[in-house]
Amino acid sequence: MNEHTSKKFDAELEGIRTRVLQMGGMVELQIVKAMEGLTGGDLLLIDQVIENDNRVNLLEIELDEACNQVIAKRQPTAVDLRMVSTVQKTITDLERIGDEAKKIAKTAKQLHTATSNFAPQIRLSHIADAVVDMLRTALDAYARLDTISAAQVVRHDKEVDAEFKGIMRQLITYMIEDPRTISQAIELMFVAKSVERIGDHAKNIAEYVVYMVKGRDVRHTSLEEIEREATR
Q: In the complex, which residues of this chain contact a copy of itself (CB under 8 A)? A: 54, 57-58, 60-61, 64-65, 68, 71-72, 75-78, 81-82, 85, 88-89, 92, 168, 172, 175-176, 179, 182-183, 186, 189-190, 193, 217, 219-220
The residue (of 36 and 124) whose beta carbon lies closer to a copy of itself is 124
Minimum CB–partner distance for residue 40 and a copy of itself (Å): 26
Cβ(186)–Cβ(228) below 8 Å: no
Torsion of CA 105, 188, 162, 126, to 10 degrees: 60
Minimum CB–partner distance for residue 152 and a copy of itself (Å): 23
The residue (of 78 and 162) whose beta carbon lies closer to a copy of itself is 78
How many Å from the N-terminal Cα to the C-terminal Cα in the chain?
A: 30
Identify the CA nearest to 101 among candidates 53, 42, 39, 62.
Answer: 53
The residue (of 134 and 189) whose beta carbon lies closer to a copy of itself is 189
Identify the CA nearest to 141 among candidates 17, 41, 55, 37.
Answer: 17
Angle at 10 between CA 8 and CA 16, to 5 degrees: 105
The residue (of 72 and 162) whose beta carbon lies closer to a copy of itself is 72
Minimum CB–partner distance for residue 84 and a copy of itself (Å): 9
The residue (of 17 and 89) whose beta carbon lies closer to a copy of itself is 89
Minimum CB–partner distance for residue 31 and a copy of itself (Å): 19
Residue length, the chain? Answer: 232
